[in-house]
Amino acid sequence: MQPFDDRDGLIWFDGELIPWRDANVHMLTHAMHYASSVFEGQRAYNGEIFRLTDHSKRLKRSAEILDMEIPYTVEEIDQACRDVLKANDLTDAYMRPLAWRGSEQMGVSAQNAKIHLAIAAWEWGKYFDEEKAEKGIRLDIAPYRRPAPHTAPVHSKAAGLYMICTISRHQAQAKGYDDALMFDWEGRVAEATGANAFFVRDGKLYTPIADVFLNGITRQTVIELAKKRGIEVIEKRIWPEELDDFEEFFLTGSAAEVTFVAEAGPWRFTPGDISRRMRQDYDDLVNQRTVNC
């Protein structure tokens, strides 16, 4: 795999496009020591960044939750993302805007640290192996749980919240799984390490309430698509024992898109009509094809 610091291309860095290999920060950058950074993951299809403004707005909100003010408007962030895509001659790409506190101040307090913003884009195919994803991926049960909303800024897409996701996915992959299913602080079903969860039972869609994890933009999109088809969507707290009764399970996310799940710990699922319909509808939407409902 080509390392991400040694590639050709341009990265938008604090207002200008610079060579990819020059987009560096000092080792005493506050974000590297105290996780004071937020980011977005978004995809471009056929030259258009899907729900770009929604991503830019969420980036600004995430920063505000961490007491950071990104010195660019939503409109300026949108345009910077488009400029990155064009400068790198990309039409289908994954994009990563990142905002962080700089190296002007060290210690827990960092009111005087500069807030930086950078945006990179690169070609990135399916998040999960396509052959596995067609049959349904396998999830372990994560050793860590999503934190309670009164213990962490759970509604910010903050880098620090992904530490337990990395650990959980590493452990799952070491055991031969593709990812891990995370429970919340009370032991209820939450999400995978980087994607929201949907279940199917008796023709209805069920998804955990997004109160301790991000209400993903792809999650919102799939809910909208399901409702257009007349599929009832029920947002509820889901306890692990309820997984015995669900027939289908799929994940949603900008990286994962719509990915089928065949196994989660002791539970088994079969990709069915609703899961396949949601994947096709999402694929049609992002590729600007007509979604026939």
pLDDT in tens, 10-49: 999 999 999 999 999 999 999 999 999 999 999 999 999 9
> Do 174 and 84 share a domain, yes or no?
no
Of 77, 94, 122, the residue that ends a domain is 122
Looking up residue 95, the CATH number of its domain turns out to be 3.30.470.10
Strands 37-39 and 93-101: antiparallel
pLDDT band at 1 (very low <50, low <70, confident <90, very high): confident
Looking up residue 134, the CATH number of its domain turns out to be 3.20.10.10
In a domain, 187, yes or no: yes
> Do 100 and 187 share a domain, yes or no?
no
* Residues ≥6 apart with Cβ < 8 Å to 102: 25, 26, 29, 30, 31, 113, 114, 115, 116
Instruction: Give per-residue pLDDT as tens, 160-178.
Output: 999 999 999 999 999 999 9
Q: Give mean pLDDT, residues 206-235.
A: 97
Residue where the block lists tokens 């827990």: 108
> Do 86 and 135 share a domain, yes or no?
no
Of 88, 122, 156, the residue that ends a domain is 122
In a domain, 4, yes or no: no
Q: Which residues sit opposite 182 in a β-bridge?
A: 191
> Which residues belong to the active site?
157
What are the backbone angles phi and psi of residue 236, rounded to the nearest 5°?
-155, 165
Of 122, 146, 165, the residue that ends a domain is 122
Parent domain of 282: 130-286
What total of structural domains would you count in the chain? 2
| Mean pLDDT of the chain, nearest integer | 96
> Do 81 and 136 share a domain, yes or no?
no
> Do 70 and 149 share a domain, yes or no?
no
> Do 66 and 211 share a domain, yes or no?
no
> Do 204 and 82 share a domain, yes or no?
no
